[in-house]
Amino acid sequence: MFNVVFVLGPPGSGKGTICSKIQENLGYVHLSAGDLLRAERERAGSQFGALIESHIKNGSIVPVEITCSLLENAMNLHKTANGFLVDGFPRNADNLSGWSRQMSGKVHEQFVLFLSCPVDICINRCLNRGEGRTDDNVDSLKKRVETYNNQTFPIIEHFGKLNMVREVDSERPVEEVYEDVDKVFEAANQK
């Protein structure tokens, strides 16, 4: 059974940055749903490239069957990992129900790491990220934030009702954010 920590937060809240540090220090494998989708978009012969790009540009969410299969395939490549950081997933109700259908009995969901940060700061971070992402522009960011508010935040609230959310304020410098994240993992892994 794979241990899984879902990592959620607004676009630009620092999910990828913090996951890299957790991976480096705690042996969890970082799987970014967005990175997996971008890799699939670039893969020669993929039947999903155009569909994925249209969702990415519009800030909407790719059907779960595609994303969940990419995640499961990636997990199966790292069978001895301490656990997986599933970054940017589940992003909406379709993601959540599809994950349950495909993954129940195969994973243990430890908790949801929620990186909270004001949206104006997140948008500025994305606009200055400098990675050439096709969705780091004002139009796409407006849509991504709308999707986050209307579809992803309710998923965080859903997990909150199950007492699974561990919120860390990610407006602060990376080192300070990581200190608190490390404490969250320590507490979870003592149980």
Ligand X SMILES: Nc1ncnc2c1ncn2[C@@H]1O[C@H](COP(=O)(O)OP(=O)(O)OP(=O)(O)O)[C@@H](O)[C@H]1O
Q: Is 89 in the site for ligand LCLUPRNS (CB under 6 A)?
A: yes
- Is residue 183 within the footprint of ligand X (CB under 6 A)? no
Asked if 110 interacts with ligand LCLUPRNS (CB under 6 A), we say: no
Task: Identify residues 48-107 at the interface with Mg ion (CB under 5 A).
Answer: none
* Nearest partner of 144 among 25, 30, 15, 50, judged by Cα: 15
Got the DSSP string for 53-96?
Answer: HHHHHHT----HHHHHHHHHHHHHT-TT-SEEEEET---SHHHH
In angstroms, the CA 91 to CA 57 distance is 16
d(CA 93, CA 96): 5
Which residues line the annotated binding site?
12-17, 38, 60-62, 88-91, 95, 129, 133, 144, 172
Binding interface with ligand LCLUPRNS (CB under 6 A): 11, 32-34, 37, 55-56, 59, 61-62, 67, 88-89, 91, 95, 135, 144
Binding interface with ligand X (CB under 6 A): 9, 11-17, 34, 88, 125-126, 129, 170, 173-174, 177
